[in-house]
Structure 1
Amino acid sequence: MLNLPSLSTCIKFMQDFFISNIFKKFVLQRIGHHSTLQDTMGTVKRDIRIANKEKRKKVFAEMKHKLNKERHEMRRERAKEEAKNPELKEKRLAENVPDTIEAKRVYDETIAQEMEGEDEFKEYFEEGKPPKVLITTSKRARGQAYDFADLLYDIIPGSEFKKRVGDFTMTQIAKMCAERDYTDLVVINEDKKKVNGLTFIHLPEGPTMYFSVSSLKMPKEIKGHGRSTTHIPELILNNFSTRLGKTVGRLFQSMFPQQPEFVGRQVVTLHNQRDWIFFRRHRYVFKNEERVGLQELGPQFTLRLRRLQRGIRGEVEWEHRSAMDKDKKKFHL
């Protein structure tokens, strides 16, 4: 005959069961941090969250402050050790190489090739002809295009600005500029009252390049920006390695005089990264004999090459297409 528990024993068991569950629920709601609970069936991880928003923010801020403090302390100790033994720093930097898309770049055969064929920039690089640049806009341009034209006029030494009038095509304007001994023509394109493109035509024989413009930030939008002077700036070109990239770099280089005025401490940087060209302009600020800083002059904008044509808007030699962006490790500049 089976020995069944008495009614009082069953009632007591049910009371203990419900009380224990209520207690666990209370703990899950009230405990102030994440923890791990153990039970008789093994290790069970339960996410215990802070219900109160202000308490949660306070705990997170304390945790973040503690981690930052530990990190800064670790860096100070490491700096002391590396100051005593410089080889430790060299070893750390050699091992700490980030795994980037640039490091996995698909090899381009034109990187190692020398420039062949007729050189359109021969007058500048071999004969030393000084640049003479004309800046204009697209038809019926508005305010931002003219503001941007003023900035380009300030950036490019020896440039001139002419307002776009009449129904002359870009090809006709380029031919008239070549007859007047201009070396380059820059056309600012505007759409819906915003600058969205730049066309560069090297005269008299091309090439013609069209770039899209994005992320335009005027100097007045840059906090702590400086004012430029009339000194000829230095020009820094970064990461133009392929044949196409070198052609683009030579185009930019041909618009600036070959002898910068270092006394002005101004520098124009065109940095190519993953076929995006970032434009920045700075001034060196010497704080003492050992320390130097940078003051940004502005503007900031990003270029992307969309089309390269032979001559003055002639045969298309290279054009960007959406299918080219499928392989994230292949770059063209």
Structure 2
Amino acid sequence: MGGKRKKSESEAEEVQFVENSNGDDTNKKTKKKMEILPSMIKNKEKRSAVHAKLKREKKLEKRKKAKAREADEKRALELGEEPPAKKIPRTIENTRELDETVCMPDDEELFAGNDADEFSSILKHGVTPKILITTCRFNSTRGPAFVSELLSVIPNAHYYKRGTYDLKKIVEYAKKKEFTSVVVVHTNRREPDALLIMSLPDGPTAHFKLSKLVLRKDIKNHGNPTSHEPELVMTNFTTRLGHRIGRIIQSLFPQEPNFKGRRVVTFHNQRDFIFVRHHRYIFESKGSQQTDSKGKTVKDDKGEKASQQKMIARLQECGPRFTLKLLSMQHGTFDTKGGEYEWVHKPEMDTSRRRFFL
């Protein structure tokens, strides 16, 4: 009898072990099913159906969160409390790597250096900017078109044909004629691809890569700029290098804009790309029907619908539109052989998407 009991107990333990092992297998299978992604499904129809279902669920969850947030805000306003703080979305800009060269508003050393740098005479209204614009030796069809539009953007700019002259001779000529800057437009494969800005007489020289060029004729509903001196807008040049680049760009423009012309030239830095735009303000009066508190249209004494005039401001792009990216910053005027560089962009610097230099 004892032997039979031992056998039955051992058989029961084996059955229990098998059931437990089967239960573990089923749990693993359910986990695997839960972890299956749409990209892992080979059947196209099933894959699209699963993807649509997940997308719909995600949208519903997002809508629920938004409704809950609105309800919390409404409840806080009714109780006279402060509404919950809005969440700031994570972006590449607000999660950028810490940089020791970021300029602070109370940086006395920075402002003291501004009074003694190469651009102080122009930015303090002591000297009027005078710009010489030229091209590379092997020019293309879009090069002169871009130069002619640059002449309309930068006041007091003069174009000289490059010919076979060496760049050093052009710099010497510009110094004698009291030019404050030299701008060289470089072209490659019939397309402008680089911009060189030299501050005279002693530099520095900034070399930019030029991309995404759109000329005025290719901009829909573009405007034609006037001869008024434009207002200059510089944004997001936060580091020491960015501050220096901003000042070399500022030195191309007069520091007394004529606001009657309503012209604005914008240099906006974002992720080390400088977006250049040229606009003019337009003020228009637009009539609209008067309505009361209930949303019904108001009528005058004659029984006609009363209208009110509203002044609306809008922007009209004048062009050209292009993007600059800094390649190097050099001491003195342009010298490929013996020049000393303040800053040079190298491929090893692009190790992180959240690392910016301007």
TM-score by length of 2: 0.67
1:100 aligns with 2:91: yes
> Alignment partner for residue 152 of structure 1, among 146, 150, 153?
150
1:286 aligns with 2:283: yes
Aligned to 2:222: 225
Determine what percentage of the aligned residue pairs are the same residue.
40
Aligned to 2:323: 302
Q: Distance in 2 between matches of 1:299 and 1:196?
A: 14
Aligned ranges 1:1-333 → 2 under 5 Å: 95-112=86-103, 113=107, 114-115=109-110, 116=113, 118-126=116-124, 128-166=126-164, 168-288=165-285, 290-313=311-334, 314-333=339-358
Q: Look up the SS of the partner of 1:301 in the other structure.
A: strand
Q: Give the RMSD, CA atoms, in angstroms.
A: 3.5
Displacement of 1:165 after TM fit? Answer: 1.7
Residues 266-287 of structure 1 show CA distances to partners (whole Å, capped at 9, x for unaligned) of 1111000010000111111223
Displacement of 1:329 after TM fit? Answer: 1.4
Displacement of 1:155 after TM fit? Answer: 0.3
One-letter amino acid of the counterpart of residue 233, structure 1: P
Residues 67-92 of structure 1 show CA distances to partners (whole Å, capped at 9, x for unaligned) of 9xxx9xx99xx8xx99xx7xx9x958
Displacement of 1:290 after TM fit? Answer: 5.0
Instruction: In structure 2, list runs of 5 or more residues that go unmatched.
Output: 1-29, 286-309
Q: Distance in 1 between matches of 2:44 and 2:210?
A: 47
Residues 283-309 of structure 1 show CA distances to partners (whole Å, capped at 9, x for unaligned) of 112234553211111111110000100
One-letter amino acid of the counterpart of residue 213, structure 1: L
Q: Distance in 2 between matches of 1:321 and 1:279?
A: 24
Could you say if the C-alpha distance between residues 191 and 98 of structure 1 is closer, same or farther in structure 2, counting changes exceeding 3 Å?
same
- Would the aligned equivalents of 2:125 and 2:255 in 1 still touch at CA under 8 Å? no
- Would the aligned equivalents of 2:123 and 2:250 in 1 still touch at CA under 8 Å? no
Q: Distance in 2 between matches of 1:290 and 1:164?
A: 48
Could you say if the C-alpha distance between residues 91 and 308 of structure 1 is closer, same or farther in structure 2, counting changes exceeding 3 Å?
farther
Q: Distance in 2 between matches of 1:91 and 1:111?
A: 33
One-letter amino acid of the counterpart of residue 347, structure 2: S
Q: How many residues align?
A: 274
Residues 81-109 of structure 1 show CA distances to partners (whole Å, capped at 9, x for unaligned) of 99xx7xx9x958x5142211111112222
Residues 218-259 of structure 1 show CA distances to partners (whole Å, capped at 9, x for unaligned) of 112111111111111111001001111011100111111111
Q: Distance in 2 between matches of 1:300 and 1:331?
A: 23
One-letter amino acid of the counterpart of residue 162, structure 2: R
Q: Look up the SS of the partner of 2:192 in the other structure.
A: strand
Q: Distance in 2 between matches of 1:299 and 1:96?
A: 38
Q: Look up the SS of the partner of 1:271 in the other structure.
A: strand
Aligned to 1:33: none
Residues 177-236 of structure 1 show CA distances to partners (whole Å, capped at 9, x for unaligned) of 011100000000001111000000000010001000011111121111111111111110
Q: Distance in 1 between matches of 2:202 and 2:120?
A: 11
Could you say if the C-alpha distance between residues 325 and 96 of structure 1 is closer, same or farther in structure 2, counting changes exceeding 3 Å?
same
